[in-house]
Structure 1
Amino acid sequence: MFTIALKQELYPTYILSDQSAQARLEVVPERGGIITAWRIQGQNFLYFDRDRFADPSLSIRGGIPILFPICGNLPNDLYVHKSKSYHLKQHGFARDLSWDVSDRITSDGAGLVLILRSTEQTRAQYPFDFELQFTYLLKGNSLKINQLFINHSDDVMPFATGLHPYFEVKDKKRLSFDIPAPQKQDHITQTMGSFSGSFDVDADEVDMALFPVQRPTASMTNHRHNVKLTMRYSDIYSTLVFWTVKGKDYCCLEPWSAPRNALNSKDKLVYLDPGQSCQASVEFTVSYLKPPEPAAK
């Protein structure tokens, strides 16, 4: 049985449930359309910093923020379009704005459809008329995020998009990865090299872009909890980014459609003609190396 409930916390929060799988998803449309929690059989799979969430002046650390119309940052937060400079902060504005709920789904999954449309505020930073439709669909051990990008402008619209999931991890040394990318760029040192398949999780910070993506799936296995998390993504996603900070119980494995500074470099940007749209999806699936213990009552 699939259900959707609404509760009032700091913001109205939608609770999507698959009762037979004991799966639960929490979504806050007014705070960037963000997924704040994903649980299966009582186990939480997403880290979430509620103190930062409570302060609208701070970016959220946790859940699954939406990145649009850029991924990463721009030099001095600036890019140039048609000889005019625009200011756009790291990861863009979609994760900070209020999204509208346009539909609820309770057949063949618990789903919520969110819409973000351009405004005068967004056009000052990004001079295009757009519409984004994100559909969150919870079913069994999977969370699927279907995405639709529409250009309502009279001009060709370039953009990048991505997701920034914060996976809760208590012991990063017990992680292993299957990431289909042969090269890496260290965002901290700006050095390039070949990717060996692992990370120095003892470092103060790891911020690594991995490319080119050579197949539509990647995975991370948490051997402490005997859980494997597989991410399947559309061809639009050219880069995976791994980010973690020492002393924090999270790591991020992020699908990006384009690298940092793409609005200036034009590297891997998506271009939509006037009236054109494109679709993409990302699906996260949990599998167990051995059956999970029953959730405590």
Structure 2
Amino acid sequence: MEYVLENEHVRLECMEQAGQMKHFIDKDRNVELLYQGDQGWSGRNPSLFPIVGNTWTKDYKIDGKTYAMKNHGLIRYADLKGKQERDAILFTFDSNEDTKAQYPFDFHYEMRYTLEQKTCKIHYSITNTGVRTMPFTFGLHPAFRIPQKPGEVFEDYSFVFEKEEHAKQMMIDRQPHELKDVTFKEWKLSYEEIYQALTIIYQDLQSKYLTVCYKGEPRIRFHFDGFPYLAIWTHEKKSDFICIEPWYGHADFEPGHDDFYTREGTMCLEPGETFETEYSYEAL
């Protein structure tokens, strides 16, 4: 089934596979903003739950019992139940016997898409429907088509942050990983810098948004307020996309964190409690 939201400025199409966005067309400029999963990486914009990345050993322990999930958890591999509303698209997913064999908790997962002028807003809610404390973390992995037009060059794009940043960069290309003090207002896109870092991961950013610019011309504004980490990634095989990833947690970068409850970034929901968050991006 096709799930569509459209106004005079933009058109959004979504699909049941992982509840992902399929297209986001800036109708004013006749440009597709989203990567189509057709180059180095086959993904598009999965959501990461109940784990970001994976553990060092690819498995983990809950109350002394060992479990394992694929990279980035469960939702990215699931077909969600879609509902087309007049002014929103809603996707839902509930735990089942297959998910509980990998992650032994009951949950209800929702993601809701809405449009406001040229902005796409995505709201998430996760409810613990079980009877015991549920540990989890959460993140997003949207991939944007960069460059956007023929003749443009990846390295002519940049991220301009809302504020001058004095943050920490997680140096995951070494063990043990280190936190490096970094200061910047603008970051120019660079394949080589991403490859060297494996993934650029910032923590403690003060900005609530960044603006993707081409030679100083604003193209996309990406809002990530409330997320403790922001990652930047593209595939090691040069491809025309960049991922801007707000996270609440991260993968293990060294051994020794196999207890799921104590991993950095783990949050806990008591029975009946709901976690909510959102992000948005705007065509400029």
Relative to the length of structure 2, the TM-score reads 0.83
Aligned length: 260
Partner of 1:239: 229
1:185 maps to which of 167, 170, 174: 170
Aligned pairs for 1:1-297 within 5 A? 12-18=1-7, 20-21=8-9, 23-29=10-16, 31-41=17-27, 42-50=30-38, 60-62=42-44, 64-101=45-82, 103-106=83-86, 110-170=87-147, 171-179=153-161, 180=165, 182-189=167-174, 190-197=177-184, 198=187, 201-203=190-192, 205=195, 206-223=198-215, 226-235=217-226, 237-245=227-235, 247-261=238-252, 263=260, 265-287=262-284
Q: Cα deviations across residues 3-41 of structure 1 (Å, max 9, x unaligned)?
A: xxxxxxxxx3322211x21x1111111x11111211111
Select the structure with the greater relative contact order (CA < 8 A; seq sep ≥ 6).
2
Query: Any conservation in 2 of the 1:158–1:271 contact (CA below 8 Å)?
Result: yes
For 2:154 and 2:39, locate their aligned partners in 1 and report how far apart those are by CA, in whole Å: 23
Identity %: 23
Query: Any conservation in 1 of the 2:92–2:108 contact (CA below 8 Å)?
Result: yes
Q: 1:125 to 1:234 in 2, by over 3 A?
A: farther
How large is the Cα RMSD of the aligned pairs? 2.3
Q: Which amino acid aligns with 2:109?
A: L
Secondary structure of the 1:127 match is coil
Q: Which amino acid aligns with 2:158?
A: S
For 1:184 and 1:77, locate their aligned partners in 2 and report how far apart those are by CA, in whole Å: 24
Q: Which amino acid aligns with 2:111?
A: F
Secondary structure of the 1:76 match is coil
| Structure 2 unaligned regions, length at least 5 | 148-152
Q: C-alpha displacement at 1:181, in angstroms?
A: 6.1
| Structure 1 unaligned regions, length at least 5 | 1-11, 53-58, 288-297
Q: 1:181 to 1:239 in 2, by over 3 A?
A: farther
Query: Any conservation in 2 of the 1:181–1:211 contact (CA below 8 Å)?
Result: no
Query: Any conservation in 1 of the 2:14–2:20 contact (CA below 8 Å)?
Result: yes
